[in-house]
Structure 1
């Protein structure tokens, strides 16, 4: 990674920080784990992890005064590359429908809805599964990644923001993108070479 390029890994009490930090460092990132909006405002790349419920995660993020606004500015005015992981991706949506309806960051048109269990598929969706890219110009490549989730993003109108799908009793969104903001439902930090390769591409991304 180029000298002077700093990755802000946001600590808002809802992320698998240690594993994500280790994975980013393994591919050469200069990582700062932070809840300081000044650090986010000067970073060259931003990563938002997330583990737990949609409400707990959005509450934790918005509890940091100015953080949501700083993210909006950095990603959509300054075009800084952003990566949301698992619930960090889900927060990019307009709403999360987990035990109620809760507003997300509103970056991507759509909502986060519960997966449906059946005799063929279990919820949560847990373990390795295929990732199939959708459209062109994405960082996502075909392969196998590690998933662990009970809710998934659904596009509100058009699928233009969808960059990859997986299969769990039918197509499930595995990645979304809006401008310089990329979100992945799977866990790159748990996806071995496939995940590390994605993080490497993210570090070099010039959207």
Structure 2
């Protein structure tokens, strides 16, 4: 069972590697197309800005590669947003794996902080990705943009407004929160993904 983490200019890679080690899984960090294509599982992490991340992927043809993968793929945070159709962040067309669009949090209330940083609950959990994860489990979020709820939503959360905490279509999964920083719930989700 070999797992690959896609290496690009917006990765939160070290913490993902540590989290996988904690559940007894090893992963290779690479941008090599052949190694990514041959992996059993692919993790597409992300912390950063959408347009520069998409440009980097396009320059290395990683955008085409990711869309063509047939094994289970897990996008994390910005990784999930880049798998959507479009991001408002610098008006960025994304990979279009999920139909959902990504928009910025907006609030007239000056006491509400953007980005959302911290623990929030996830609910309406669907698919084997969340097997053994209780409804209203707390996960760790850090983001200013979020994906709308839509046909591919498999978990929801609410900050300023309801939105997709996770998406799924075919072999592609995405989570807005950071499972690698989400304690027991996050470890269960990562284990579930590795065991899909």
* TM-score calculated relative to the size of structure 2: 0.92
Partner of 1:139: 129
Q: Which residue of 2 aligns with 1:167?
A: 158
For the residues of structure 1 that align with 2:158 and 2:100, how far apart are their CA atoms?
Answer: 19
Instruction: Provide, for residues 80-118 of structure 1, a one-character-per-residue CA deviation record: whole Å limited to 9, x for no partner.
Output: 01100000000111111113x211111011211101124
Equivalent runs, 1:60-71 vs 2, <5 Å: 60-64=56-60, 66-71=61-66
Asked if 1:57 is matched to 2:53, the reply is yes
Deviation at 1:72, TM superposition (A): 1.9
1:149 matched residue in structure 2:
143
Aligned alpha-carbon RMSD (Å): 1.4
Partner Cα distance (1:150, 1:109) in 2 = 20
Query: Once the 2 structures are TM-superposed, how far is the Cα of residue 56 of structure 1 from its aligned partner?
Result: 1.8
Please identify, of 22-31 and 89-98, the stretch whose mean Cα deviation from structure 2 is larger: 22-31
1:138, 1:161 → 2: CA distance? Answer: 14
Q: Is 1:108 aligned to 2:98, yes or no?
A: yes
Does structure 1 residue 189 correspond to structure 2 residue 180?
yes
* Unaligned runs of at least 5 residues, structure 1: none
How far did residue 132 of structure 1 move?
0.6
**Which aligned segments of 4 or more residues in structure 1 are displaced greater than 6 angstroms?**
none
Contact 2:13 2:45 (8 Å CA) reproduced: yes
Distance 2:33 2:190 in 1: 23
Aligned residue pairs total: 191
1:60: how far off? 2.0
Give 3-state SS (helix, strand or coil) of 1:146's partner. Answer: strand
SS of the equivalent of 1:166 reads strand
**TM-score of the superposed pair, with normalisation by structure 1:** 0.87
User: 3-state DSSP class of the match of 2:4?
Assistant: strand
The 2-side partners of 1:62 and 1:22 are apart by: 28
CA deviations 1:97-154 (Å, max 9, x no partner) are: 113x2111110112111011242632111100001135x4341332100000000112
The answer to whether the Cα contact below 8 Å between 2:129 and 2:193 also exists between their aligned partners in 1 is yes
> Aligned partners of 1:104 and 1:138: how far apart in 2?
26
Structure 1 position 185, deviation (Å): 0.3
Q: How far apart, in 2, do the equivalents of 1:129 and 1:29 lie?
A: 26
Aligned with 2:169 (options 172, 178, 181): 178
